[in-house]
Structure 1
Amino acid sequence: MHFNYVIKAADIFVVYYIIYRLILLIKGTKAMQVVWGVFVLALITFSAKALDLKATFWLLQKFWFAGVFLLIVVFQQEIRNALANIGTNPLGRIFIPQEYLFISELTGALRTASAEKIGMLVALEQDMGLKDIIDTGVSINGEVSKELLLTIFHNNTILHDGAVVIANNRVVAAACQLPLTEQKELSKILGMRHRSAIGLSEITDAIIVVVSEETGMVSLARNGKLQQRPNIDDLEKTLFDLYKSKIEKTLLRRGQRK
């Protein structure tokens, strides 16, 4: 008997958690507005039945029958994307708040850059601000996208030298100058990008990713250490894990504001 209660409690918790994460995912999008509209109509439907408003209840019943198909048509692209994510990403990834999905755009750019041996140097601002670094570059203030990052680092662009800084989930600047590490024991095969990545990670809590122009190897610098990450999928998971605490802090602040 006690075990049945545990199963029921777990069932309720899973349903609550999924609904909670889905609400966080669609918050601020047009889908959220539709969800609120559906909620209001459901409330009206329940009230009509409770008050025995037969004509109103009959009309709303017809709406619910047609409304399901209408929602599928309106949000067919969103549904397709969600199903694709289920097939290609870990389930937990689907419930990441949208403002952190820039990581997928970044790793998409890293895949292409690695395959085509396009040199890249990207610094992800964390708790410590990178204003001094940002001020050395060219202001961008654009949404993070695979196309933007690859365009910036293409050899024919004037911004490909230096680093891109991503802060507040946006590309805030390009062609930024990073401090070089003074570590003497580093391999001589490491170029300026790698030494700059390590140098910034020594004095800030930033996460820096590097793509070698010579080999296409992807590396991650953090806390003064450089790790080669040849598997982009593993790197993407690492970045999501590193942002996990930041995500939880964001959700906590949202809850406190409410």
Structure 2
Amino acid sequence: MSNIENFLTSYLFGLSLPNIKITDLVEIIIIAFIIYQIMLWVKNTRAWMLFKGILFLLAFILFASIFEMNTILWIASKTINVGIIAVIIIFQPELRKALEQLGRKNILTTLFPIDSQRFGEERFSDKTVNEITRAVFEMGSVRTGALIVIERDISLTDYENTGIEVDSLISSQLLINIFEHNTPLHDGAIIVRGNRVAAATCYLPLSDNMGLSKELGTRHRAGVGISEVSDSLTIIVSEETGKVSVATGGELTRNVDSDYLRSKLYELQNKSPESGRFRKTKGRVKNEKKVNS
């Protein structure tokens, strides 16, 4: 019994535990969350392959250090500064995309409502919602491919300038005629601003998300790509299957029905809940599939 008491006295009671405060716990949680988000970001982009290449180089330097390969260590020490700059240049597209996504987080727009519309100022009318929905599923029924980008708070002027100005009120007949085969404006995307079609035949950035299904073509990758660099909502009609997909925030939802699409458009309206016309339709997704970027 005395041996146990001596052990406790000599070792356990002699330990000096750090004085942990509430702020320390909060700091640990924040740092862990940031590291976790960085790891997810690296894994879901091309940065993962580059990161593995950097790990290979570090392992090679460690190997050289263990076996005292002084020449290799000297070269590594002289190029480390250049290497840091090279990494920043190589990761520039991914870093820019990460900062853009950070700027679109709801927590930031809530704390700093920069360039955001005041609640109650609707972006487009109920008629526009119905016309877009009718046109999309009429085109889907005859397998006419379409790519419709609906602008929100982030301006799409740069992409609008790549196309042809239309500036026309939205109607289902207009949308169907634009995407009809062998017409001058059918190739590319149209950009919708408010109740008007701003431009057609616009070029969009393609997504480099490796998680997208290989069966998806350029139209779907362009729809996801523009949703990764802006807060827009993109509607894609597949020319091969006639199925309708929706892309927003870098996430693609495939094979949606008219109720689901209409509910997403009503969410974009920014309409006041006091309005008698405000919709709360949930919508349905048939065989829903999502891909995170």
User: Smaller-chain TM-score range?
Assistant: 0.5 to 0.7
Please state which structure has a larger fraction of its residues in helix: 1
Output the amino acid matched with 1:223: G
Question: Residue 272 of structure 2 aligns to a residue in which SS?
Answer: helix
The reply on whether 1:147 has 2:181 as its aligned counterpart is no
Pick closer, same or farther for the CA change 1:172–1:218 going to 2, 3 Å.
Answer: same
Report the alpha carbon displacement of residue 156 of structure 1 after superposing the two structures with TM.
Answer: 1.7
Distance 1:201 1:230 in 2: 17
Corresponding residue number in structure 2 for 1:124: 150
Corresponding residue number in structure 2 for 1:224: 250
Pick closer, same or farther for the CA change 1:164–1:97 going to 2, 3 Å.
Answer: closer
Cα deviation code 1:7-43 (max 9, x no counterpart): xxxxxxxxxxxxxxxxxxxxxxxxxxxxxxxxxxxxx
Corresponding residue number in structure 2 for 1:137: 163
Alpha carbons 2:124, 2:194 under 8 Å: kept: no
The reply on whether 1:159 has 2:210 as its aligned counterpart is no
Distance 1:132 1:217 in 2: 29
Report the alpha carbon displacement of residue 185 of structure 1 after superposing the two structures with TM.
Answer: 2.1
Output the amino acid matched with 1:187: S
Corresponding residue number in structure 1 for 2:232: 206
Pick closer, same or farther for the CA change 1:231–1:185 going to 2, 3 Å.
Answer: same
Report the alpha carbon displacement of residue 182 of structure 1 after superposing the two structures with TM.
Answer: 0.8
Gaps of 5+ in 1: 1-95, 252-258
Report the alpha carbon displacement of residue 97 of structure 1 after superposing the two structures with TM.
Answer: 9.3
Alpha carbons 1:229, 1:235 under 8 Å: kept: no
Cα deviation code 1:87-142 (max 9, x no counterpart): xxxxxxxxx89734201100000110110000000000000110001000000000
The reply on whether 1:247 has 2:271 as its aligned counterpart is yes
Distance 2:229 2:123 in 1: 29
Cα deviation code 1:40-84 (max 9, x no counterpart): xxxxxxxxxxxxxxxxxxxxxxxxxxxxxxxxxxxxxxxxxxxxx
| TM-score between the two structures when normalised by the length of structure 2 | 0.50
| TM-score between the two structures when normalised by the length of structure 1 | 0.56
Gaps of 5+ in 2: 1-121, 276-293
Alpha carbons 1:162, 1:175 under 8 Å: kept: yes
Pair member with larger Rg: 2
The reply on whether 1:176 has 2:187 as its aligned counterpart is no
Output the amino acid matched with 1:207: L
Aligned length in residues: 153
Output the amino acid matched with 1:170: R
Percent identity, please: 39
Distance 1:230 1:165 in 2: 21
Of 130, 134, 143, the residue aligned with 1:104 is 130
Corresponding residue number in structure 1 for 2:28: none
Distance 1:200 1:165 in 2: 11
Output the amino acid matched with 1:226: L
Distance 2:157 2:267 in 1: 25
Distance 2:194 2:259 in 1: 23
Distance 1:242 1:143 in 2: 18
Alpha carbons 1:137, 1:174 under 8 Å: kept: yes
Output the amino acid matched with 1:239: L
Distance 2:208 2:124 in 1: 38
Aligned CA RMSD, in angstroms, stands at: 1.9
